[in-house]
Structures are given as C-alpha cells and as structure tokens.
Amino acid sequence: MKNMKKRQELLRSFFYDIHVHDKDRLMDWLGIASSTYYKTLKEMANLISQGEQPKRNQLANFVRETIKYEPFQQTNNLLAALYESKTMRELAASRYTLILKFLQQYGKSSRQELIDYFNSHVLEENQKTVQFSESEITRYLGDLEEASFITRTKEKGAQRMENFYELQATFFEHFSLNELFELYTFISFIINTEVPSASGYPLQKKLLSHLEYKHDYPEFLLNDTFYQYPYFGKVLDEYIVYDLLHAMNNNEAVTVYYQSVKSNRKQVVNHQEQLLQINFVPLHIVFDYLFARWYVIGAEVNQPKEQPLKRLRIDFIAKMDTHSTCSSDDWSLWEAQAEKELEKPWCITYRETTEKVRVKFTFYPVDQQENFIRKRVEEQGQWGRIVEEIDRSFIWEIEVTDTSELIPWIRSFGSSATVLEPKPLQEKIHASWKETLQLYDHLEI
C-alpha cells in the first residue's frame, strides 16, 4: 500500500499541477526523497505508456503531459492506471500466462506445438533462448485445464493421436458484435459518471482489446462519445475504498495511519512516526460529489458508545492494516449509530440537533430556456423539498445538522438563491457576497 500511496499522490500532484515545476517543493510537499521521486515517476511512466520510456530528466515532463486532462480530445482516464500497478509485475512473471497468450495468438495447438512456441521465443532479460522441459509444459497445461482456462481434446495429429489445447470461450466471446458495442457504451457510461469506477477501467480495456483482436475493430471507431466534465481525479482514492469495503463486508477493524487534516502539508507518503495511528471499525463510506472527496465513518476500537463516530478523509489515509474482527453485536450497534448520524448531514458533519434551512430560488429565464434552477434543486437537493411556489420563484426547505455545509452549493446559484432562514446562515451568505463585491467593485470594468 505504501508504494500505491506514493504513486497515488504523485499522480494527484501531476494531474492537478501541484508544485510539478519545482521538484524540491514537490518532494517536500509529499515527504519523499529524490530516489523515491524518480523511481515512482518511472513506474508511473511504465504504467501509462507502452511506448519507449523517457530518460530520467524527461520523466516529469512526460508524466505531466500524458496525464493532464485534455477536454474534447481525451477519453481515457490515465489515472486509472494506478490500479494496474498492484499486479502487473507479479503477473507478467507467470508462465501460465505465456501458454494462454500462445493459445490466443495461434489458436488450437498440440502440446508439441506449444513446446516449439516456448522454445522459439527469446527472453529479453538474458538475451538467450531458454529451453523448457516437456514435463514442465505438460504440468502447466494440466494446471490450466484443471482451472478451466483451457480445454483438451485428443485428435489425430501429424503422425499419431495427440492432445490438442485451446482456450475456453471467454466472457466477451458470448456476445455478438452489436452486444459488445452495447456493453462498451454501458461500461464507459458508468466509469465516467458513477462511483466506484476503478474496476471498470481495466474491464473496458479488455473489451477494447477483444474488439480489436477478435473483431478487427480499432478503438478509435468506438470513440463516439465525449463525456463533458468527467472529473477524472475522483478515481484516485478508490483503491482504499475497496479495501475499506472489504473490511466492512467482513466486520473487520483496521489500523489506519492517518495524516491530520489540520496539517497544511500533504506529507502522507512517509514519516510513519508522524502519523496518527487509529484502531478503527469502518462502518460507512461517504462520497462528496461536489469536491470528489471520500470519507469513512467508523468507531474507534473501545470508543464509548455515547460518543459520536469518527470521520476520516480517505485521501489522508497513508496506510491501513487489518486489526481484528468486530463482534457482530458491536457491529450492529455501531452500524445503527452510523445510519442515524448520516441521516441529516448535508455532507458529513454530525450534530445532535438539526436546523431548518429555507431558501428562495428564483429563475430568470433567457429566451425560451427551461427552468434549470428548479431542475438543479430537484436533482441535487437531497431530501429537501419545495414547499411554496410564487411566479418564477419557489421556497425550498431542508433540515440539516450543519448548515455551513450548504454554503458552496447555495453560493453556486448566485443571485438566484436567497437564504431566508436560519439567520446566521443568511448573514454568512450575505457577508460572503459583500466580500465578493469588494473584490470587483474598485476595478474599472
């Protein structure tokens, strides 16, 4: 996970341009050494591009230019490459894989033919032909057959009856070409618009390879949709989300190494001794769409029952280990508390009491524009409801635990939203517009 964290934070910095023009500042921000910086950059360059790798002094530029979001041109979220890093090295080493690849490339083959394929390929590492024994290959074939990756048939070969091997019909082969197009649209739509999405990226990649290899359908012919405002960065924290979901499914407590949110430096990838160590029962995950921020809510192990649950920002989790299993009684109690504490926050903050917020929204139509203000409020307003309508205006009400969490959303409506109550929220929004006015009022515009 530590390596994943380094890659994740480095990718985040390069995607968002954080100190990327100043290596020393970036290393300081992330808390990593120069050797780690170059090593991680090289790993990332390997993952996001199959082509020739840049030299050491060009690595940073290469990564920056490759992963930078380019609207209207870029359809691949290269940040999702993060999820390939975990397994590629281990996997590439598998000899079983080679058999599967040979069978993909050459189709149904006899054992002898497979032996010949093995012996006619050069290993890059030591630049010499490696001989594999027949018994080894027979053993690998047996394993693959037992695991249902391949099937064996006895057929007449060149001189005698021989064992022939071929790949089992795989997932995508069950679909017609048109059905594969549908599947591609479906997967693309989900990874661009929904969370969790990380598992969808490699799946989409495999489907594309299948279409290209089996149906001779190049990827560019399928790029017929531009997803506007996809916010690629949301995928970066998902690998911790999956680990947390796994812990939740198994009622497990975890030890979380956590960077304090108050700190103004990222520094989450190093200095374990400076991190908070929290033994924690994760209970629920919250994704805040507006800022693409993930939170986990849970109980500290041995936390008194009357205390509110703890909220952690997932991007500040540097490392996580399994701690212990939580008893089902404790789990049920905590789970009920989490449900209660999540009922009324607009986003994440819990307080014992709620406050009513009343906002007047007004629509100022241009031409024959549809009422997009109402549409937005209905779509994004969670459990709030419209209680009154007057001409082009309507009053919307909601009960929330922390009214300040609504501020960015209300501000985004500009003068179309006027807070009627509570008074302190009204004053905050009013003051915030006065401050905004001061920013521009003195300019000669």
Site string for another protein, 36-75 (x = CB under 8 A): --------------------------------xxxxx---
- Contact pick of 116, 153, 171, 385 for another protein (by CB under 8 A): 171
Helices 23-30 & 34-48 angle (0-180, nearest 10): 100
CA gap 314, 238 in Å, rounded: 9
The CA distance from 269 to 8, in Å, is: 9
Residues 402-431 that bind another protein (CB under 8 A): 407-409, 411-415, 418, 426, 429-430
C-alpha 145/C-alpha 110 separation (Å) is 14
Please tell me whether residue 200 binds another protein under the rule CB under 8 A.
yes
Whichever of 87 and 307 has its CB closer to another protein, that residue is 87
**Which CB sits closer to another protein, 227 or 363?**
227
Question: Judged by CB under 8 A, how many residues of this single chain contact another protein?
Answer: 143
Please state, as a whole number, how many other Cβ atoms lie within 10 Å of the Cβ of residue 353: 7
- Closest distance between another protein and the C-beta of residue 198, in Å? 8
Distances from the Cα of 74 to the Cα of 202, 213, 220, angstroms:
17, 23, 11
How many residues comprise the chain?
445
User: To the nearest whole angstrom, how small is the minimum distance from the Cβ of residue 306 to another protein?
Assistant: 23
Round to whole Å and give the CA distance between 407 and 405.
Answer: 6
Q: Which residues contact 6 (CB under 8 A, 6 or more apart)?
A: 30, 32, 36, 40, 269
Among 34, 53, 193, 272, binds another protein (CB under 8 A): 193
Residue carrying structure tokens 């924690």? 280
Q: Choose the stretch contacting another protein; rule: CB under 8 A; options: 30-38, 172-180, 323-331, 350-358.
A: 172-180
- Residues 8/14/18/24 CA torsion (nearest 10 deg): 90
Q: Which of residues 344-403 bind another protein (CB under 8 A)?
A: 345-348, 360, 367-370, 372, 376, 379-380, 382
Q: Which residue of 24, 65, 155, 226 would you call a contact of another protein, by CB under 8 A?
A: 226
Q: Which is nearer to another protein, 333 or 348 (CB)?
A: 348
Work out the end-to-end distance of the chain between its first and last CA atoms, rounded to an integer number of angstroms: 52
Residue placing its CB nearer to another protein in the complex, 279 or 382? 382
**Residue from 1, 4, 27, 286 binding another protein (CB under 8 A):** 286
Nearer to another protein, 162 or 219 (CB): 219
- Figure out which of the listed residues 50, 57, 159, 249 binds another protein, where binding follows CB under 8 A: 249
Of positions 57, 159, 228, 353, contacts another protein by CB under 8 A? 228
Q: Which is nearer to another protein, 279 or 362 (CB)?
A: 362
Q: Which amino acid is at 248?
A: M
- Which residues between 293 and 322 bind another protein (CB under 8 A)? 293, 315
Q: Which is nearer to another protein, 36 or 349 (CB)?
A: 349
HSE-up (13 A, CA, CB side) for residue 230: 22
Nearer to another protein, 2 or 25 (CB): 25
**By CB under 8 A, is residue 332 in contact with another protein?**
no
CB 244 within 8 A of CB 282: yes
Q: Does 106 bind another protein (CB under 8 A)?
A: no
The single-letter DSSP state of residue 384 is -
Sign of CA dihedral 159, 161, 163, 169: positive
Rounded-to-integer distance, Cα 148 and Cα 142, Å? 10
Which residue, 35 or 127, has its beta carbon nearer to another protein?
127
| φ, ψ at 312 (rounded to 5°) | -120, 140
